[in-house]
Structure 1
C-alpha cells in the first residue's frame, strides 16, 4: 500500500464562489466525479508549491493569498492519498481546463455539497467549515 501526498486548493473568485471541476472519464481515480484543483507532491517539493503548480497546470490560473488548511486521508485503489488543503484567491473567472477535466463550475460553497466528489462529502464539508466558507 502506498501513501501519496497531495495538495488540493479551494479556489475563490471575487464573487465568493469556489471552483469545482469534473474529472475525465479516462482517469483511474475518481472518473466523472467532481473535485478541486489538486495533484501529487513531486520529490523535494513543498506543499504550497504543489498547490500553486497544480492549480496552474489544471486551470491556467495563478493564485494568491494562499492559506494552509487541514490534512485529511482518503483511500484510493492500492493506497491512501494524504490530502493537504489550501484556500486561495483567483482574480478572474476564466479557466483553461487541462485534459484531466471535462468541465468546471464556479459555485457558492454550500452548493458544492450537492455535487458528487471523489472524496467523501464529509471531507468537503469539513474543509469548507475549517476555512469558514459554510455557516455552521
Structure 2
C-alpha cells in the first residue's frame, strides 16, 4: 500500500548565511547527507508550527518564518512499501547562530550565500533547489547582500 507524507523544510538564515545539518550516520534515511532541517508534519498539526518545531528539535534554534519558498515531491521506501512525499520549504530568520544538535544530526555548518554555487560540503540537488528558491525570495526582499548572486 502506498503511503503519503507531508514534510516541512527550514531554510534558516542568520545574517548572510544559511544553516546546513549533516544527518547522523545512524539514520536509516539518507545517513550522513548534508541538508536543511526538515521533518514530518504530525497529524492535525499546523504546518507553520511543524516547521518551527522541527527546527527547534533538530537544531535548538528559534526563528521567525518569513515566507514559503517552494515545495518538492519525492519518493522513498520503507519496509511497508513506497512512500510519496511532499516537502514544503520555508525561509526562517534567526537572531542566533548557536546550534544544539539532536541525535538525528552529527554536524552543522553556517554557509555564506556567496558559497552556494560551490559549497564547502556536498549537497544534493534536492537541497540545492530548496536553497536556490529561498535565495531568490530573500533577494526579492533584499534580506541578503547583493554580492550573494
TM-score by length of 2: 0.79
Q: Indicate the structure (1 or 2) with the bigger Cα radius of gyration.
A: 2
CA–CA distance in structure 2, aligned partners of residues 110 and 123 of structure 1: 15
Q: Can you give the 5+ residue segments of structure 1 that lack an aligned partner in the other structure?
A: none
SS in 2 for 1:19: strand
Match of 1:94 in 2: 98
Equivalent residues in 2 for 1:3-82, closer than 5 Å: 3-13=4-14, 15-77=15-77, 78-82=82-86
Question: C-alpha root-mean-square deviation of aligned residues, in Å?
Answer: 2.0
SS in 2 for 1:96: coil
Match of 2:123 in 1: 117
Asked if structure 1 preserves the Cα contact closer than 8 Å seen for 2:19 and 2:111, the reply is yes
TM-score by length of 1: 0.86
Match of 1:131 in 2: 137
Q: Can you give the 5+ residue segments of structure 2 that lack an aligned partner in the other structure?
A: 140-147
